Amino acid sequence: MKARDLRDLTIDEVLQKREEVVKEKFNLKLRQATRQIDNPLRIRLLRRDLARLNTIIREHELKISPIAESAAEVKDRQAVDEK
């Protein structure tokens, strides 16, 4: 999962993707504890994906991401249209 691709998603999609990654990581960690994991490197990839998703969410909160900028532009246009 590339950050560039994630930034193209809406914030709701990013949050949903984050929940999916958290659940998958939990399941893999559980399987790792019982020694039933096929690909242990998948945990590392999920951890990095989770960090990317959290970064994008934080950028949105700070209004420095393209998602936040596009949302701000939409709000500005709506305000102008209302006047």
Dump pLDDT digits (tens) for 15-24.
Answer: 999 999 999 9
- Residues 68-82: b if buried by 16+ CB within 10 A, e if exposed: beeeeeeeeeeeeee
For residue 56, what are the domain limits? Answer: 3-82
pTM for the full predicted model: 0.70
Query: pLDDT value at position 83?
Result: 60
On the question of pLDDT at 78 being above 60, the answer is yes
Domain count, the chain: 1
CATH number at residue 20: 1.10.287
Distance separating alpha carbons of residues 33 and 47, to the nearest angstrom: 17
Dump pLDDT digits (tens) for 28-60.
Answer: 999 999 988 888 899 999 999 999 999 999 988
On the question of pLDDT at 67 being above 80, the answer is no
